[in-house]
């Protein structure tokens, strides 16, 4: 009886991770289509998809571990790689866009990055 409860709980955790990952990927794709400028689209593309892909890969890892007793090093490396590179690549793309002259869509906000660059240039 106890093994069946543990199996049910583990399967529920796996399903929740897969559903959460799918939700984040879906919200990422909606955000990419709906947001107004490059920076907010990059935010949607990097943050939500990182969580989505990580959730799906963790769910797949747990499924393989529970059902087949396989510890997949490839899935662990993929999770680590996604968590390390996706936010960094989004940051670098946004810096390149800013240096290329793409201005953010701001209504009542200041461009803090531009102010920091100007302050750094004036202090040199």
Whole-prediction pTM value?
A: 0.81
Would you state the pLDDT for residue 51? 93
**CA 31 – CA 40 distance, rounded (Å):** 8
Mean pLDDT value across residues 21-37: 93
Residues 77-80: contacts with CB within 8 Å, 24+ apart? Answer: 79/54
Tell me the pLDDT tens digit for each residue of 49-67. Answer: 899 999 999 999 999 999 9
Placement of tokens 């087949």 in the chain: 68
CB 75 within 8 Å of CB 60: yes
């Amino acid at each position: 009886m106890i093994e069946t409860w543990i199996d049910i709980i583990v399967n529920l955790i796996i399903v929740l991770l897969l559903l959460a990952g799918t939700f984040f990927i879906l919200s990422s794709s909606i955000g990419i289509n709906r947001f107004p400028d490059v920076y907010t689209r990059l935010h949607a593309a990097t943050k939500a998809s990182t969580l989505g892909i990580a959730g799906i890969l963790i769910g797949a890892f747990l499924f393989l571990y529970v059902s087949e007793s396989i510890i997949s090093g490839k899935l662990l490396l993929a999770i680590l790689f996604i968590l390390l590179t996706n936010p960094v690549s989004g940051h670098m793309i946004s810096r390149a866009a800013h240096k290329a002259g793409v201005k953010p869509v701001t209504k009542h906000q200041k461009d803090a990055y531009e102010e920091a660059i100007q302050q750094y240039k004036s202090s040199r």
